[in-house]
A and B are shown apart, each in its own frame.
Chain A
Amino acid sequence: MLELLRQPWPWYISGFAISLIMAMLLYFGKSFGFSSNLRTICSISGAGQKVKFFDFNWRKEIWNLLFLVGSVIGGYIVSQWLSTPDPMQLSASTINDLKGLGIHFDGGLNPSQLFGKDFATSPKGFFILLTGGALVGFGSRYAGGCTSGHAISGLSNLQVPSLVAVIGFFIGGLVMTYFLFPLIF
Chain B
Amino acid sequence: MKGLKFILTGILFGVIMAKSEAVSWYRIQEMFRFQSFQMYGIIGTAVVLGAIFVFLIKKFNIKDFSGEPIEFKDKDKNWSRYLIGGSIFGLGWALTGACPGPMFVNLGYGYWPMLIVIAGALGGTYAYGIVKTWLPH
Q: Are A9 and B7 in contact (CB under 8 A)?
A: no
0/1 interface trace, chain B 1-24, chain A, CB 8 Å (1 if under): 001011111111111111111111
Contacts of A129 in B (CB 8 A): 96, 113, 116-117, 120
Q: Are B89 and A75 in contact (CB under 8 A)?
A: no
Q: How many residues of B contact A (CB 8 A)?
A: 112
Which of A13, A88, A161 sits near B82, CB closer than 8 Å?
A161
Contacts of B75 in A (CB 8 A): 144, 154, 159, 161-162
Q: Are A73 and B6 in contact (CB under 8 A)?
A: no
The smallest beta-carbon distance between B51 and chain A, in angstroms, is: 5
Whether A8 sits at the interface, judged by CB under 8 Å, is yes
Whether A124 sits at the interface, judged by CB under 8 Å, is no
Whether A1 sits at the interface, judged by CB under 8 Å, is no
Q: Are B123 and A27 in contact (CB under 8 A)?
A: no
User: Chain B contact residues: over half helix, strand or loop, or mixed?
Assistant: helix
Q: Are A14 and B65 in contact (CB under 8 A)?
A: no
User: Chain A contact residues: over half helix, strand or loop, or mixed?
Assistant: helix
Considering the complex, give the chain A residue whose CB is closest to the CB of B47. A155
Which of A10, A51, A133, A156 sits near B53, CB closer than 8 Å?
A156
Whether A74 sits at the interface, judged by CB under 8 Å, is yes
Whether B59 sits at the interface, judged by CB under 8 Å, is no
Q: Are B97 and A146 in contact (CB under 8 A)?
A: no
Considering the complex, give the chain B residue whose CB is closest to the CB of A126. B116
Q: Are B92 and A135 in contact (CB under 8 A)?
A: yes
A35 to B127, CA, bound (A): 15
Q: Are B9 and A70 in contact (CB under 8 A)?
A: yes
A164 to B86, CA, bound (A): 8
Whether A115 sits at the interface, judged by CB under 8 Å, is yes
Q: Are B124 and A135 in contact (CB under 8 A)?
A: yes
Chain A interface size band reads: 35 or more
A167 touching B50 in the complex, CB below 8 Å, given contacts A8-B19, A88-B24: no
Which of A28, A63, A74 sits near B65, CB closer than 8 Å?
A28
Which of B38, B104, B116 sits near A130, CB closer than 8 Å?
B116
Q: Are B72 and A37 in contact (CB under 8 A)?
A: no
Considering the complex, give the chain A residue whose CB is closest to the CB of B16. A17
Which of B9, B79, B112, B127 sits near A134, CB closer than 8 Å?
B127
Q: Can you show 10 pairs from A to B with CB atoms below 8 A apart?
A: A15-B46, A22-B50, A29-B65, A30-B6, A135-B120, A136-B120, A152-B46, A161-B76, A164-B79, A169-B93
User: With A18-B42, A156-B50 given, can you name 12 additional A-B contacts, CB distance below 8 Å?
Assistant: A11-B20, A14-B22, A15-B44, A66-B7, A67-B13, A70-B10, A73-B10, A74-B16, A90-B26, A136-B98, A147-B100, A172-B87
Which positions in B face A, CB cutoff 8 Å?
Answer: 3, 5-33, 35-39, 41-51, 53-54, 57, 62, 64-66, 68, 70, 72, 74-79, 81-101, 103-114, 116-130, 132, 135
Which positions in A face B, CB cutoff 8 Å?
Answer: 5, 8-30, 34-35, 37-39, 41-42, 47, 51-54, 62-64, 66-79, 82, 88, 90-91, 93-94, 97-98, 105, 109-111, 114-117, 119-120, 125-126, 128-144, 146-148, 150-162, 164-177, 180-181, 184
